[in-house]
Copies of this chain bind each other. A is one copy, B any other.
Amino acid sequence: MTREKSRPPRETGEERLTGEDLLIARIAEKFGHGHPGLIKGIGDDTSVTAQTPGTVLLATTDTLVESTHFTLDTTTPAQLGAKALGVSISDIAAMGGRPTFFLISLVLPKTLDTGFVEELYAGLSATALVFGATMAGGNMSAGKDLTVTVTLLGEAKPEKVVYRSGAEEGQGLYVTGTPGDSALGLRILSETKKGGTGESRLKEFKQAVKRHLTPTPRLEAGTRLAERGIAASMIDVSDGIVLDARRLAKESGVGIDIEISLLPLSPEIKRYMETGGSGKEAGLLMALAGGEDYELLFSADLKDETLIEKISEKLKLGITKIGSVTSKNSGVRVIGADGVEMALERGGYEHF
């Protein structure tokens, strides 16, 4: 500190705030969307929001860490932003809720510049707009790993919330979309990265790569299945069908049979399985135990089959019965095309 006899030029308040303050203010101005419930967003100690009367509050937090969850070799900042929010929207979808506000905490290596941060926010913001979420707060820190933590809030009518615990014996087990694509996309990306197979594979398995880099949360399917009382239990498939089915089974106190012959496989995963060698086994493992599909896995009464088909048609999103809810004693089983149970060597995609 130095003492000055002559008075320095007056500060306007804008000057001499921190770089973090200024960057956050710029981002809030650029990417803040309106939301009727947002009373105060960025620019105070906390956000202040109003909840729709008669709803319960949903909250979920997810972190993407460089090297662990993604690499900047294959992911653009905008894709990273989109995915960081998307995986949380998927969680809200699995409860049958609708997203409202989100807070983001960024840990940034010093090598990344504000341009990177703005691109990341642009991707995040585009996803937020599509799914009706509004940024309410955030902060930034320095660190070695680029780390993006999104906490997403949402709301739902209390009687419409779908838990993991609602599965009952005799129900069907359903999945949206074509699981395994994200794992296939990841494999293609990592093979390409190593220089083993080249650009042509990226084109050949374009959809799978896209599913991996920017998964689409199944929000509309989740809310429709919940609001119409169709889904009895639901979870989003983040760690593979088998592991996530185990979670449903555990919370519901039931068993689950998954039938290989019923698995909906995408054209790309089928093509991968036809490449010979260990392709067939690898493809099946991706569909059963690949991570990060962010599809919805749910149980429903068999009598609701027609309603499910209608939602599937309306949303142009496949929803497929892949098995059934059994008794707790049966456990979680994968049944082969010949009706014989199969055993997985790995139970799924373990982060930890």
List which A1-41 residues lie within 8 A (CB) of chain B: 1-5, 7-8, 10-14, 16-21, 23, 39-40
Does any Cβ of B come within 8 Å of A105's Cβ?
yes
> Shortest distance in angstroms between A22's beta carbon and chain B's nearest beta carbon?
9
A241 is an interface residue with CB less than 8 A from chain B:
no
Asked whether, in the complex, the Cβ of A21 is within 8 Å of the Cβ of B247, the reply is yes
A130 CB–B CB distance under 8 Å: no
Contact check, B40 vs A50: say whether CB atoms are below 8 A apart.
Answer: no
A180 within 8 A of partner (CB): no
Number of interface residues of A (CB under 8 A): 108
Assess whether B40 is in contact with A163, with CB atoms less than 8 Å apart.
Answer: yes
Query: A44, B95: Cβ atoms under 8 Å?
Result: yes
Closest to A250 in B: B13
- A65 CB-CB contact with B under 8 Å: yes
Q: Flag A237-252 by CB within 8 Å of B: 1 or 0 each.
A: 0010001001101110
**Given known A1-B343, A45-B164, A281-B1, contact A61–B139 (CB-CB < 8 A):** yes
Which of A103, A140, A141, A246 has the most CB atoms of chain B within a 10 A radius of its CB? A141
Contact with B along A85-96 (1 / 0, CB 8 A): 000000110110
Inter-chain pairs besides A11-B332, A13-B246, A61-B138, 16 sampled, C-beta below 8 Å? A1-B288, A2-B343, A4-B343, A11-B331, A17-B246, A18-B239, A39-B56, A39-B158, A44-B95, A45-B94, A46-B91, A46-B97, A62-B139, A69-B141, A140-B352, A143-B147
User: A residues within 8 Å of B by Cβ?
Assistant: 1-5, 7-8, 10-14, 16-21, 23, 39-40, 43-51, 53, 56-69, 91-92, 94-95, 97, 101, 103-105, 107, 136-145, 147, 149, 151, 153-154, 156, 158, 161, 163-165, 234-236, 239, 243, 246-247, 249-251, 253, 281, 284-285, 288, 328-332, 336, 340-345, 347-348, 350-352
Q: Name 13 interchain pairs, CB-CB below 8 A, sorted by A.
A: A13-B249, A18-B239, A20-B352, A45-B95, A45-B235, A46-B94, A48-B58, A48-B95, A59-B101, A59-B136, A62-B105, A142-B352, A145-B147
